[in-house]
Amino acid sequence: MKNMSTLFDQISSGKTPHGVCLRGEDPFLFSKLFSAYRKNGLELKRFVLPAVGPGVDVEAEAFSMSLFGGGVLLWLECKKAPSGWNKDAKSLFDKILNTADGQGLAVVLVMPQDKRIKTPSKSLEEFSCELNFSERATWIAKMNQERTGSLDKKRLDFLLHFEEPLMVIDNWIELWTLGGDLWASSALAWGDVDSLNGALALKGENPAFAWVDSVVEGNGPRAMRLLEHLLDQGSDPIQLTALLAKSARILASVVARESTSGFPPFLVKKLQYKGSARSLDLLKKCAELDVALKSSPKDARAMLLRLCV
């Protein structure tokens, strides 16, 4: 599955794909995508598809626009899995794609992020709205440039520590640009940027616990940033390993019981993440790491970083 940056590159170079499947949902990226399509002369026509799939209203729009030479983006939002589409709907969708391919139309089907859900057509190019750390950093830098580029790298790196939607970050950049560091200090605890404590304190997080949560949840980029911070601040690698092992051990016991009854809400919440399924593997790695750290303490940073991946 390709990332969204690839799709933007294709559109800007004039190689707009006729059939696209977007996995996930991000209002900020969608708004930018609308603008990119509009620059290529495509007018947006938006439809929310019923559970049974596209109907004659979508077909009529595609056919009508094809008669007038195209120039339309059919944006189809699929809230339910296409597996629920009936035979007529699937046939109709293929027909719409064929019309788009030959008449200068573009079709975008928005689907849930879940990769287990198959697309209704193999001819669709798939793109993910889920951004990795590097892609997110690129978008935040673009937001800044669009607003005079007044925030330096230090300030942009600070914003990367927050996991809010891009739409929220974009709004913060605008407010920071207008209100300066005085606004950022008041709203985002900017004063502690060097130690990361400002961003974490705003969300009521302890850096060590935030690191454990990130490892358990499989959020590698955030886990590595937090670990670097903790080690730079003098945290004991063996104590960090013990903290992670304790969390993994508790989660493993919950998984083994196959019941969340009697456990505190914060643990139940963790089980929503894919990290719960890898708790036993984490526990094993922590035990091995504990032995390795005691024999080779100089390699602590590299050993712990491997846990974050």
What is the CATH superfamily name and number for domain 2-128?
A: P-loop containing nucleotide triphosphate hydrolases (3.40.50.300)
How many CB atoms neighbour CB 265 within 10 A?
Answer: 8
- Calculate mean pLDDT across residues 165-178: 89
% of the chain with per-residue pLDDT over 90 = 4
pLDDT for 65 beyond 80: no
Residue 3 C-beta-side C-alpha neighbours within 13 Å: 10
pLDDT of residue 145: 93
Strand, helix or coil for residue 292: helix
- pLDDT of residue 66 exceeding 80: no
The share of the chain scoring above pLDDT 70, in percent, equals 80
CB 162 within 8 A of CB 136: no
Q: 176: which 2 tokens?
A: 């920071």
Q: Please give the average per-residue pLDDT across 219-241, as a whole number.
A: 80
In angstroms, rounded to a whole number, what is the distance separating the alpha carbons of residues 50 and 220? 37
pLDDT of residue 103: 67
Task: Supply the mean pLDDT for the chain.
Answer: 77
189-209 burial, b for 16+ CB within 10 Å, e for fewer? bbebbeebbbbbeeeeeebbe
Cβ atoms of 74 and 108 within 8 Å: the answer is yes
Res. 102 pLDDT band, cuts 50 70 90 = low
- Is the CATH number 1.20.272.10 carried by domain 207-308? yes
